[in-house]
Amino acid sequence: MQLNSWGMYPIIKKNITVLRDKPSLRNEILNNTECIPFGNGRSYGDSALNEHIIYCKPYNYFLGFDEARGILHCQAGVTLSEIIEAFVPQGWFLKVTPGTKLITVGGAIASDVHGKNHHVEGCFSACIEGFRLMLPNGEIRTCIKEDELFKATCGGMGLTGVILDAKISLKKINSKNIEQTTIKTKNLKETFEAFEKYAYMPYSVAWIDCLAKDDALGKCLLMVGEFADDGDLNFKEKKKLNIPFKFPSFALNHLSVKAFNWLYYAKAPKGVSHQKVDLGTFFYPLDGINNWNRIYGKGGFTQYQFILPKEHSYEGLEEILKRISQSGKGSFLAVLKLYGEANDNYLSFPIKGYSLALDFKIEKGLFDLLDALDEIVVKYGGRIYLTKDVRVSKETFEKGYPMIEKFRSYRKSKAMDTKFASLQSKRIGI
């Protein structure tokens, strides 16, 4: 069995233990010096990589559903796609979902993922009623929101223990469809104005042309939406396209990205347009392509995602977009989102402001560019998202997370630092 991160970088040799039951998991934890939980491999970087991995995806049963309260109890290996497939036809959906449904519940908690509605619903932890966690000594602890263990685990990147199961509050819906409005903007000023104008909408996300320059810098397609009320709950997975092999490294370059960006922007109608789309198209466009990570070639890729405080978002994004445009290392997957207030979890990524996520092929000069972008992010009081990261320095990371010492001291006090570690945690000292 070969398990890698979604970014296909780095590739390391691993000893893999499959999580099937609690007694064998307890033995594994007690008898090994160091391990890290691993879900469905959709983290982009090295946050779930180590020499010893606990593979949690097979631990994936539904344990119960309280229909009166809309609370699902399931094991940590259940994927969001399995929840959607089972519950959308019954009129239920996830309150918070990231841009892929192919992650496990345990991974969603460990990353404290967010989605297109953070400004309304917050992070994934906001809809978690509680979960059970196996600690370094083999003890199983039930965690609720008031617990320090809850705050350390949600966003804690699997470094506090192995999540076993969770109770998740779902959202009632009356359609599998989204009423989507698309706003085409000409520059960054119009983009920010559009985000603020449509901030009342429950869902919003923008694709931004990161290679645009001068007067067109920051032009975007902003998509906002809300669930339709048409009673259509006939949800079925669509047939997927497949990328059968890794593309040659030269296939994705400045010219091909520029051409894609031009076509994608040009095809959208001017001004404001409306259409009804299914939830898969709106929330998970890339899930419709199997193995899409192969387009970046055998060297792999990384996603660079940062967030800036709202009061500095415009100025900071303008500077960063200029730097990216000048470098020529563009991304055709460049996603801009609006966020609400931060939560109390120690390492959760969101703060009130705007984030930008960009996918870059790993190639010569890329990490130098990202180091330069780090400096801009830090200058404006921002932070980097650990779930997407594969190279940020300890110094840069620490400047973005003011509660890092609380997390470190809590880990040490519970001997978590002696049992749970990843390549990422060693790199940034957590």
Q: Which residues contact 232 (CB under 8 A, 6 or more apart)?
A: 175, 176, 177
Residue 268 in tokens: 């959208």
User: What burial class does residue 258 get, using C-beta atoms within 10 Å of its C-beta: 0-12 exposed, 13-18 middle, 19+ buried?
Assistant: middle
Q: List residues bridging with 72 in a β-sheet.
A: 65, 168
- d(C-alpha 199, C-alpha 184), whole Å: 16
CATH of domain 58-174: 3.30.465.10
* Alpha-helical regions (H) of 209-364: 254-266, 279-283, 310-327
DSSP letters of 17-83? EE---HHHHHHHHHH-S-BEEE-SS--SSSTT-SSEEEE-TT---EEEEETTTTEEEEETT-BHHHH
Three-class secondary structure of residue 421 per DSSP = coil
pTM greater than the 0.95 cutoff: yes
Residue 140 vs residues 22, 136, 162, 300, 408: alpha-carbon distances, Å? 9, 9, 9, 37, 21
CB 116 within 8 A of CB 204: yes
- As given in the structure block, the two tokens for residue 392 are 């940020």
- Tokens describing residue 104: 């496990």
Phi, psi (rounded to 5 degrees) for 74: -145, 160
The sheet carrying 220-227 orders its strands as 272-278, 177-184, 220-227, 203-208, 334-339, 353-361, 301-309, 383-384
Six token digits for residue 82: 């399995």
Divide the 430 residues of the chain into consecutive groups of 10 and give the mean pLDDT of each group. Answer: 88 93 95 93 96 97 98 98 98 98 98 98 98 98 96 98 98 98 98 98 96 95 98 92 89 85 91 97 96 94 97 98 90 93 98 97 95 98 98 97 98 96 97
Residue ranges, comma separated, of all CATH 3.30.465.10 domains in the chain are 58-174
Chain region(s) in the chain for CATH 3.30.70.2520: 177-392
Q: Distance between CA atoms of 18 and 39, rounded to whole angstroms?
A: 10
Kind and range of the H or E run holding 289: strand 289-290
Of 307, 287, 304, 278, the C-alpha closest to 119 is: 307
What tokens appear for 397 in the block? 């990371």
Q: What six digits make up the tokens of 62?
A: 């539904």
**115 Cβ contact partners less than 8 Å away, ≥ 6 residues apart:** 96, 97, 98, 99, 121, 203, 283
Domain at 177-392: CATH code: 3.30.70.2520
